[in-house]
Chains A and B, each alone.
Chain A
């Protein structure tokens, strides 16, 4: 019963932003999320520690929701839902 499982329509798209530094994780995210359908999920992996604050700000600015976020072994994972 993860929030992702509750989504209707469209598979989760992956974006590997590991190794990229500011501002490229959100730049690539913005470019990728445009290709999704509204409501579709985007899973982003990043290693930039600044991305925690940046994805939160990006989500507030753009209105694309952060469904889940977490960190494991230095890799940040954000699941975003396209507005």
Chain B
């Protein structure tokens, strides 16, 4: 009876070790051999190129803004910059002119409740029926903080690569023609993981 479990055990243990190793190295402690011996990624020829990979999960003003600030600053500083647009984080990249999106009533209702488009971002806190965004908008203008629209334009001009999440596109019933111009082809988690684990790469989940 115990034979199957003892046979199964070593792989389980080693996979836990692997996970711990990844966690340790992610925390910047004691780089493991695994990282050093990792096969060269596609950037091997230009190992010095620094990369920033951001998972943009949120569609709220106070998170999308830092995503756009970090990615425009990175691209301006010569980093190869990729932003994965997933879940709520995909909605700001729908065209402003699209009001109701999706095919079924649930998708349509979602877009009704959470208006898509970069000009229609709400706050994660202190929204107060639009009062929060209105005040932040006033303050941003007074202190010359760039708007999400300006920053998005800068990102695109500097070559930031925006990668929509394929699964989110389908779940929200979004079609390529609903999205702003200049986005890359939709991809999945494995692609993002590969990007995140390349050398000289910083990654953020916002």
A residues bordering B, Cβ < 8 Å? 19-24, 26-27, 29-31, 54, 57-58, 61-63
Contact = CB atoms under 8 A, between A and B. Distances in A.
B195 interface: no
A27 B158 contact: yes
A21 B76 contact: no
A12 B146 CA distance: 27
B143 A30 contact: no
Contacts, number: 47
A19 B50 CA distance: 30
Interface in B48-77: 50, 69, 72-73, 75-77
A57 B143 contact: no
A62 B154 contact: no
Contacts of A54: 73
B76 A58 contact: yes
A30 to B, nearest CB: 4
Contacts of B72: 23, 27
Contacts of B144: 19-21
Contacts of A26: 73, 76-77
17 contacts: A20-B144, A21-B145, A22-B69, A23-B69, A23-B73, A24-B150, A24-B154, A26-B73, A26-B77, A27-B72, A30-B75, A30-B158, A31-B154, A57-B77, A61-B77, A61-B79, A63-B78
A30 B76 contact: yes
Q: Is the interface of A mostly helix, strand, loop or mixed?
A: helix
A50 to B, nearest CB: 11
A32 B148 CA distance: 21
A58 B145 contact: no
Contacts of A63: 78
A27 B77 CA distance: 8
A20 B146 CA distance: 8
Nearest to B75: A30
Contacts of A62: 77-78
Given A19-B144, A21-B145, A30 B77 contact: yes
A24 B146 contact: yes
Nearest to A25: B76
